[in-house]
Amino acid sequence: MCGHFPEGVETFEKTSIEGESRGEWYLRQMLGSANITGSPFMHLMTGNLSFQIEHHLFPDLPSNRYQEIAPQVRELFDRYELTYTSGSLVRQVGSAWKKVFRLSLPNDFLNKATTAVNPVTRLISRTPLAPDTKVA
């Protein structure tokens, strides 16, 4: 969950991946996964799957090589101005649960809830303007 679903990781519609080129497949792997930072022991305990981006790009590469290729992968992200999503285990788990919670709410729920709690915004949003009023 941490490498696939934290904030900053993109998701793709099934129809958007039909007929994708090899380059588009690699880009989707880069944007659709995230790494978990940590100590060598933490990486060992995850079987080096804390390097999810590298794992998605090179699924057949032995996992003990992911850390070795990570700097070159990061360089590609920088060169093409892509976001290399990475964070601590606590941050990634929290971010993933935040995203799950946000996506489980009805559409536009958070905007409506914010407007309902703020009486000034509520008043402004429900007060129609006079026909000759100009908005700056």
The answer to whether residue 115 sits within a structural domain is: yes
pTM of the model: 0.71
Domain holding 47, by residue range, is 14-126
Does 120 or 43 have the greater pLDDT score?
Answer: 43
The answer to whether residue 4 sits within a structural domain is: no
Residue 103's nearest CA partner among 1, 31, 35 is 1
Cβ pair 35, 50 in contact under 8 A: yes
Tracing tokens 């703020």 back to the chain, one arrives at 118
For the cut 60, the answer to whether the pLDDT of residue 121 exceeds it is no
**Average confidence (pLDDT) over 44-53:** 92
The answer to whether residue 121 sits within a structural domain is: yes
Structure tokens at 58: 């090179």
The answer to whether residue 18 sits within a structural domain is: yes
- Mean pLDDT value across the chain: 82
For the cut 60, the answer to whether the pLDDT of residue 129 exceeds it is no
Cβ pair 100, 5 in contact under 8 A: yes
The answer to whether residue 31 sits within a structural domain is: yes
pLDDT at residue 2, rounded to an integer: 53
pLDDT at residue 4, rounded to an integer: 66
The answer to whether residue 136 sits within a structural domain is: no
CA distances from 89 to 42, 46, 54 (A): 9, 11, 17
The answer to whether residue 21 sits within a structural domain is: yes
Tracing tokens 């994708």 back to the chain, one arrives at 20
Confidence of residue 90 (pLDDT cuts 50, 70, 90): confident
Does 28 or 115 have the greater pLDDT score?
Answer: 28
The answer to whether residue 69 sits within a structural domain is: yes
pLDDT at residue 132, rounded to an integer: 56
For the cut 90, the answer to whether the pLDDT of residue 60 exceeds it is yes
pLDDT at residue 73, rounded to an integer: 97
Q: How many domains does the chain have?
A: 1
pLDDT at residue 105, rounded to an integer: 83
15 C-beta neighbours (distance < 10 Å), count: 7
